[in-house]
A and B are shown apart, each in its own frame.
Chain A
Amino acid sequence: MIERDQVLHVARLSRLKLSEEELASMQKDMSSILDHVDRLAEIDIEGIEPTSHVVPLENVLRDDVPRPSLDREVSLAQAPDAADGAFRVPSPQAEI
């Protein structure tokens, strides 16, 4: 079982505030996910290169050619708040 403190730590990194109930259910769910992933450790991977991508491709690149950007009105409209042509967010310095 994953430690409660670890769940709190991960929640804090994601700026999530969890209630006691959520914390308990999260602890349970995360533990079961980790246990499941741990089963992979049973497989013998001796001599096998780590896979970083499932498709055997390399060097998929694009040329350095500009493409049109979004109209600012369109991009700002996706956000909850905007001001002065910019996205407005709560100060990240505020305590969580």
Chain B
Amino acid sequence: MSGATDEFEAVIGLEIHVQLSTETKMFCGCRLSFGDEPNVHTCPICLGHPGVLPVPNRRAIEYGLQIAAALECDVAPRSIFHRKNYFYPDNPKAYQISQFDIPLASNGHLGEVRIHRAHLEEDAAKMIHVGTSGRIQGSDTSLVDFNRAGTPLVEIVTEPDLTSGAQVREWGQLLRATVKQLGVSNVNMEEGSLRCDANVSIRPVGSSGLGTKTEMKNMNSFRYLERGVEAEIERQKQLVASGERVVQETLHFDPSSGELHSLRSKEESHDYRYMPEPDLVPLAPDTAMLDAAAASLPELPAARAERYHSELGIQEGAARLLSVETEWAAFFEDVLGSDESIEPRVAANWVTGEFAGELRRQGEQDPADSRVSPKSLGNLVSMVSANRVSHGSAKSVLERMVADGSDPEAIVREQGLEQISDTGELQRIVDAAIEGNAKVAEQVRGGNEKAIGALVGAVMKETRGRADGGEVTRLLRQSLGL
């Protein structure tokens, strides 16, 4: 089966909705909120009463322009709002104010993925489906909460440039980090302030056409989206391999069962009958607005990863890892800043490797919340680099630091972990190990070099890990005449 399915490649495009973290809604002065009592932030505008007039939120436009700048898009000199008509209780106007043929921004890119467009629109109300099963299917009535209705959104649409679930996850995380760095959204997928849909199709390897696509809706993490996309690619390949056709539909991926379900949805008939929104005048960002957006851009994750790699010599993988999460990047830079003798590459390995791992083991996530300060981690890294403590000892020191915030110097002193740098002392221990393990020593002399491991182990045991493994091996080999 894999012989046939390997002849196909996946083509994936993403649509990402980003809720902007303004104070108020897109077209009215109601506050944004999450988790409040239902329907406490509503007014005639966001409830869609007749005769009201929407007025766009200036800050939402500014945030949209910042996203456009970060994605290196062309900003339309004059864009207009449209009504996207559909009938569903989450939008009592029976249309969503969105943008259609002239979006705010287009033709951008983030990393290797091209951005088709980015436009402004408003979020819909939240539906709570009640009834027998609690799920959408089979419910009798629905409750509608308009707190979310009218929340400003930027919808970002990529070109179909992605080819795997893993790439979707990685790129999605980069986009989320980028938007987060701009400070224009909370980008919390579980709370829905960042939502990602994936359009998936397959085609014969090497062809340039596009197959029939399916749309995967609204996964609440990029890991689930990755798994869902992989499952859907596999499903499509199997369909085609067995001579069937992919049907255009909207799918839901259930991460607990790993199954894909077809969704009946309000978009069942894609017939939105767009028309220009007569209540809103065109949006023509002037030079001042564009300059302000450009000037507001901080160093973004993709640029930071590039700088870490090219200027600091950090491997690409670690550079990306450090750059994507701003709190990790900040911690790393503070470690570097704490002691200029620290090699960036070494510091990067400690931060993304041992330190991140130890935090996870102890159930922590954010380095900024850790009891370990960048300065004390820098201190530990310096001690390792200066051969004052072995790598192995340093790991146990770090465990203690994460647990109770102790100073590494103090732990090393208290536990006597300072590496034996006196060659004379180490030589005495090496000699004793050879004497105490005469048989093994004989085997090594006889050509079984692997057996030297037992002698190294004996020395490390005697020194309680305070010796440098490389130095021990060197002394042993020398003493055994190798």
Please provide the chain B residues from 78 to 96 with a CB less than 8 Å away from any CB of chain A in the complex.
78, 80, 85-89, 94
Between B44, B57, B143, the greatest number of chain A beta carbons within 10 A of the residue's beta carbon is seen for B143
Q: How far is the CB of B470 from chain A (nearest CB, A)?
A: 61
Across the two chains, which residue of chain A brings its CB closest to B284?
A58
Minimal Cβ-Cβ distance residue in A for B138: A93
Asked if B42 and A75 make an inter-chain contact with CB atoms under 8 angstroms apart, the answer reads: yes
Contact A52 B31 (CB under 8 A): no
Contacts of A13 in B (CB 8 A): 85-87, 269, 271, 273
Contact flags A54-96 to B (C-beta < 8 A → 1, else 0): 1101111111111111101001101000011111111111000
**A14 contacts across to B, CB distance below 8 A:** 87, 94
Residue on B nearest A56 in the bound complex, by CB: B281
Q: How far, in Å, is B68 (CB) from chain A's closest CB?
A: 16
Interface size class for chain B?
A: 35 or more
User: Does B211 count as interface, using CB distance less than 8 angstroms?
Assistant: no
Nearest opposing residue in chain B for A84, CB measure: B143
Q: In the complex, are the beta carbons of B283 and A64 less than 8 A apart? A: no
CB contact between A70 and one of B42, B56, B278, B280 (< 8 Å): that residue: B42
- State the majority secondary structure of interface residues on B: loop
**CB under 8 Å from chain A, chain B span 41-72:** 41-44, 47, 49, 55-61
Name the one of B42, B59, B281 contacting A59, with C-beta atoms under 8 angstroms. Answer: B281
- Interface flag for B217 (CB, 8 Å): no
B305 → chain A closest CB, angstroms? 32
Chain A interface size band reads 35 or more
CB atoms of B87 and A15 under 8 A apart: yes
Q: Which residue of B lies closest to A50 (CB)?
A: B276
Report the minimal beta-carbon distance from B282 to chain A, rounded to whole angstroms. 5
Q: Is A53 an interface residue (CB 8 A)?
A: yes
Interface string of B257-301 (1 = CB under 8 A from A): 000000010100101010011101111111000000000000000
Give the B-binding residues of A (Cβ under 8 A). 9, 12-15, 52-55, 57-70, 72, 75-76, 78, 83-93
30 A-B pairs with CB atoms under 8 Å apart are A9-B271, A13-B87, A53-B278, A55-B281, A58-B284, A59-B282, A60-B280, A61-B61, A62-B56, A64-B59, A67-B28, A69-B42, A69-B43, A70-B42, A72-B42, A75-B39, A78-B49, A84-B143, A85-B37, A86-B39, A86-B128, A86-B143, A86-B145, A88-B142, A89-B143, A90-B141, A91-B141, A91-B142, A92-B88, A92-B127
Given A61-B58, A69-B40, 16 other A-B residues pairs in contact with their CB atoms under 8 A: A13-B269, A52-B80, A54-B278, A60-B56, A60-B281, A64-B22, A65-B23, A67-B24, A67-B29, A76-B39, A78-B49, A85-B38, A87-B39, A89-B144, A92-B89, A93-B139
B residues adjacent to A (C-beta < 8 A): 22-24, 28-31, 37-44, 47, 49, 55-61, 78, 80, 85-89, 94, 127-129, 131, 136-137, 139-146, 264, 266, 269, 271, 273, 276-278, 280-286
